[in-house]
Each structure stands twice: as C-alpha cells, then as structure tokens.
A and B are shown apart, each in its own frame.
Chain A
Amino acid sequence: MVVIALGFSIAIMVAIPAGVTANQQAIQWISENFKNTITAMQQEINKTATLIECTTTPSRGVETFRLGRFFGRMNETFVDETVCNAIRSINISGVSAVKDVIPFLVKSSMENISETIVTPFGSRTIYRPAYTIIGVCLNATIIANYPILPTNITAGENLSEGDSGYVLISSNLTDYFQATIGDTIEIYGQPFIVKGIFESASRPRTVYMNISDAQRVTGLAGKISMLYVYVSDVSLATQVADVIKTMYPELYVTTYQDRLANLQRMQEMYTQTLSNAESSIAQAQATATQIIIVAVAAAALIVFFVMLYSVRERTREIGILKAIGFSNWNVMSQFMIEGMLIGLIGGVTGVLIGSIAAPFFSSFLLPQLNLFGGTQRLQRPFQTQYPSIIGTQSYSTVALTPQLILLTLCAAAILGALGSLYPAWRASKISPIEALRYE
C-alpha cells in the first residue's frame, strides 16, 4: 500500500518532466519542419520568378497550414484549351510578353478513400479522392526547359514525349494500386501501364500522364484546369497577371510576388505558432514545477510517517540494539538506510508505474500543449500525426530517458533519507531502559 502510494508520487515525478521534455521535443520538431518547408518553398519560388500560375481552383496556400481544413473533395472547374493561345498572344506595350504557356489538366480520381486523421484538433474520418491525375503536356522542349514532371524517380523511367497509355505514380500509391513498374492499372476505366514511380512530398497520391490521355479518359476533351505562364521578363509578370485576370476572371492567378507574399504569411504564422507553443511550454513548466514540488513533498511525507510508525513499532528492538552496544549514530543510520531503501523501492515502483502511466499523468496534470492559439488544443493520444504539408511524423507524448530514470531513483533515495531524518533521530534518542520495558 505504502509502496504503491510512494510509487505513485514518484511516478508523477518521472512522468511530469518526461511530459514536458516530450512537449519540447514536439515543438522543436515542428519548428524544424516549418523551417525546412519554408526554406524549400523559398528556393522553389526563387527558381520560378517568371512563372505565373493560373488555376481554376484556389491555390494551396496558407490554408494548407491550417491543419485538417483542406481535406475532402473540392468542386473542380475547367476552362477551354483555347485560353492557352489567347494568353500566349498577350502583348505589353506592343511587345510579346509571354514566352510559354503550359497547360495541365488536374482531375481527381473517381474513387474515394476514407482516412482517419488524427489532427491536433481531434481525430475524424474524411473522404477524399484516392489520387489526383495530372495531365501534362509531353512536349520534348517543354519537358526539357520547365519543371513540370517530377524529378525524383525511384523506379522505372520518367515520361517522355508522345508517351500515351503510360503513367507515373507516386510511391505512396503503389499500395493502393497494388502495382509496380510495368503493371497495368485502371484509371477512369481505362488501362494504363506504370512507367515509373516517383517520390514527392508536395505531390502525394498523384498520377502523371499525357494531357491528351487525361482529357480522353476523364471525358474532358479540350479542357484544362491549370496553366503555367512563363513571361519573357520578370518585370512584366505583374502586368501580364493583371491582363490575365481581366481576360479570365474565373482563373486564380498567382505571380512570383503573390507567392512571396504567401510565404511571408506562412512565416508569420510559423512565428506565431512557435511563440504560442513556447508560452504554452512555459506555462506547462510552471505547472510541472508545482506538481513536482507537491509530489516530492508527498513522497517525503509518506516516508516520514512510515518511518515514524516503524520507530514506534520497533521501540523494543531499538532498546535491544542499544543495550547490546549500538550507538545513537548506529541506530540513526540504521533507520536512515531503511528510509532510503523504502525510497528506492518506491522509486523503482514509481519508474515502473511511470513508464506505463506517464502519458496519462502528463495529460491529466499538465496544461495541454497549445500550438495554434485560441481554444484549440493539441490532443494527447499516444502518438500524434501531423498531416499534409508539414509532413508526417509520430512523436511520443513522454520522453522517459535513462538519465531521467536514474535521476528519479537518486531523488527517491535522497527523499527517503530526508523523510526518515526526524524519525531516525527520535529512534536514536530513545532511552534503552524505557524501550526494553515497552510492550
């Protein structure tokens, strides 16, 4: 009973720092991920200064960061291929301003998948397209000059000019299609041969194919949903974008400037998130300190009362020891060692309980990690997955390190000694004659 009570308070002593450490690790991890993502996007944006992106659906922007908001099937709209030629012929001050226009057809698969996603705001099941088809213009010059095809081919080959009936699939789709290089898969009821498999964080669950194939199988002949407009000079980008917006108000147009602004917003969000997290951690630490003080006091008090009781119970024994020549110090150290042993046993029990129950303790006792401000709180299942653009990584809610365990055991022994200090001193002061008379 006593050991369990002691074990529990010591378990709290283990669990709370473990929880705090885990939170810190989580935040560190999130911060690194944000940084990496933003650096990658920065590089991407710098490479494509002359690119104006026109899509029929809102672009993936800041919203993607609002985790869990951007799932599900969206309304897809399309424009006619003739847009390409119209844009290509845009003149600014009488000079042809557009170098190239590359059409894409982006279409969701017919099939849906259900996915249970554990987001920071709770878990839920969402339905979304099993994959996205991107029809690209397989023209040798365009492929050579612009980054329209995935670059990280892990198996097989990339698509090349005139390929028809071939697809590239992302590596996380191999399970879904149960297919590998050379296998035939069915898309919109039509057979395609897997030519290559690629790896891309920004384009998960994607199938690349020839735009003409895509238009044919999806029944969208002559339709496109995205254009990459490359201007001949960076200085013309804004003007060209304005012209496109006037001509086709249904298109969502983003220039290099827009993308930079987006990035800026993302960075601000990242900073905000991080500062939220940090203040949350500071709060958690303050609470943790209080809880640990209480746990330490409880542990010391438990030892204190147990030892006091033990000294009372063993008064006669103390008398015997003194009568046969044990000094006060002998008796005192005897009881202190005993207290330390009780502390250690409690410590071992505590570490055992803690290693099992630490997540519960830290979720009950610590304020929850607040990443996104307001009332949204990070849930604390054993593992949390961050979906989408941030990437996916599991992290444990407690970090029970060997150092922490060792520290706790030492602390438990010291607490045992401290708690038994007074009882042991009392034992040493017992008069042997009275103790021997004691029944």
Chain B
Amino acid sequence: MSELVLETEKLEKIYKLGGRTIRALSDINLKVEKGDFVSIMGPSGSGKTTLLNILGCLDRPTSGKVILDGVDVTALPEKELYKIRRYKVGFIFQTFNLLPYLSALENVELPMEGTGKSKREMRERARELLKLVGLAEREDHKPFKLSAGEQQRVAIARALANNPSIVLADEPTGNLDAKTKYEIVKLLGKLNAEQGTTIVMVTHDSAIASHARRVLFLSDGKLLQKEKMGLLAKEKFVCPACGKEVQAYHTFCPHCGRKL
C-alpha cells in the first residue's frame, strides 16, 4: 500500500451565512492509499458531509487542493467534474438514493449509461455486482419492495458500477437498524479486503467506524491527529466458538457458522 488515491492539501471550506462566516473545514490534510478503508468519525455538524462532498466533487473547497488519482480536481472546470464523479468516485448515501421507478438491476446499470458500454455488458456487470453484494435473486425488485439493508446493498453495487478509484460513503448505516448496520459495514469491509476497494466512510457511530482499517476524527472542521487502528487492520479474528482464525469482515464464522 503505497499508491496514493486521494490526497488533500490544506483544504478549507468557509460558508457565509447572513454576514456570519462559518468555517466548516479548515486545514484538512488527508492521505488515502489504494486499498485503504478509512472511516472519519465526528459528531453531527463537525463538517463530515461537507468534507465528503468536496472529496466527491459535488462541492468545491474555498481553498486548498483535492488530488484524486494524481489529478487536482479543484482546478478542473465544472464541465469536467461529472466525469470524475462518474468514473473515479462511487457515492453511497445515508438515504440510499435509489431511483424508485427503476429495478435493482436498472439502478446499478444507471451510472454505466452513456459510457459506451453495450446493453449486454451493462447487464452483465450489474448482475455481477448484485451477486457480489448478495442480491442476485432480487434484481428485478423495485426499491420499495426491498428492505432498507437490501436497498443500501443495491446502492453499494451502483457505487461500484464504473470501477471507481474510491468509494465515498456518507453515513451508510445511518438509516439502518442495529443488525443490518453490521451487515452493511461488513460488506464494505469484505469489498475492501477481497476486491481491494478503497473506501472513505463518514459516520458518527464509533462501533461502525471501528470496522475500518483506520479511524480518523473530525471535530469542528479539523482533522484531529489522533488516529486509531480499525478492526480491518487487525486483519484476523479468532472465532470464539471453534478457535480458528477468521477474517475480520465475516459476519458468520465460515468454519462453524457462529454469528460473530
């Protein structure tokens, strides 16, 4: 792990609200390497979402640089940004944001629309991704027929559609119940461990955040120097039931089947 996928330099975001200036982010220097799984923790209002929006080229910083895959995206004109969003970044939202009138499969195909892929290639890729997130059986269901956890899985598959350099997850478990939360974060862990997907996740839930390799803290728009090792970094677990070593992202022990 040495190749930098994402790097920020002195990132700053200032909002002006009725004469008052609000410093949402200041002096953010973040480095994310290929294959990393970083979670950024912080209370609400700490600027997490603002940071993620800037990283995902949905928003622009007031000053500072965002370098994505070696390209300074803050220098790019608006017209070029959609390409970055389409090919370099995969977004996962708290509210899933699936299109309600499209089936799971079509939702996953959506980002591939207009990329030059044939209908068949798109379909194959979408099926493959749905299989990867464990929804192969439900590809024809509309979002409202899926549970919240299933919807988020579809959203994850959609984020991966164009093979992005980085996946940005904004409170991906915020709308899920306790049980599903872990399934989703473990899915992210599995993708990171097995597919090498680089993930930056923002959350205020320390239990969820700890599933990452690294945990950073954001407070009042500043990235704290305190950095913690997440579960994934510890790599291996010992199953309490059978005593064998288990990868950290497993929900159930592959040897004895016990819930972890």
Contact = CB atoms under 8 A, between A and B. Distances in A.
Indicate whether A and B interact. Answer: yes
B186 to A, nearest CB: 24
A317 B87 CA distance: 19
A319, A322, A323, A324, most chain B CB atoms within 10 A = A324
A350 B148 CA distance: 43
A432 interface: yes
A67 interface: no
B136 interface: no
Contacts of A317: 99
Interface string B83-110: 1011101010100011100000000001
Interface stretch (A19-27, A325-333, A418-426): A325-333
B58 interface: yes
Contacts of A322: 58, 82, 85
A324 B111 contact: yes
Contacts of A319: 97
Contacts of B180: none
B93 A326 contact: no
B97 A320 contact: yes
Nearest to B78: A328
A325 B53 contact: no
Interface in A31-73: none
A297 interface: no
A436 interface: yes
B47 to A, nearest CB: 13
A433 interface: yes
Chain B interface extent, by class: 20 to 34
Nearest to B170: A436
A58 B260 CA distance: 117
A423 to B, nearest CB: 19
B58, B59, B111, most chain A CB atoms within 10 A = B58
Contacts of B91: 323-324
A321 B82 CA distance: 10
A425 to B, nearest CB: 15
B53 A433 contact: yes
B125 interface: no
A325 B97 contact: no
26 contacts: A319-B97, A320-B97, A320-B98, A320-B99, A322-B58, A323-B91, A323-B97, A324-B85, A324-B110, A324-B111, A324-B159, A325-B82, A325-B85, A325-B87, A325-B162, A326-B86, A326-B114, A327-B82, A328-B82, A330-B114, A433-B53, A433-B58, A433-B59, A436-B58, A436-B93, A436-B97
Given A325-B82, A325-B89, A330-B82, 16 more contacts: A316-B97, A320-B97, A320-B99, A321-B110, A322-B85, A323-B58, A323-B97, A324-B159, A325-B83, A325-B85, A325-B86, A325-B87, A326-B114, A433-B53, A433-B58, A436-B93
Task: Kindly list the 5 A-B residue pairs having the minimum CB-CB distance in the complex, ordered from nearest.
Answer: A325-B86, A327-B82, A325-B85, A320-B97, A324-B111
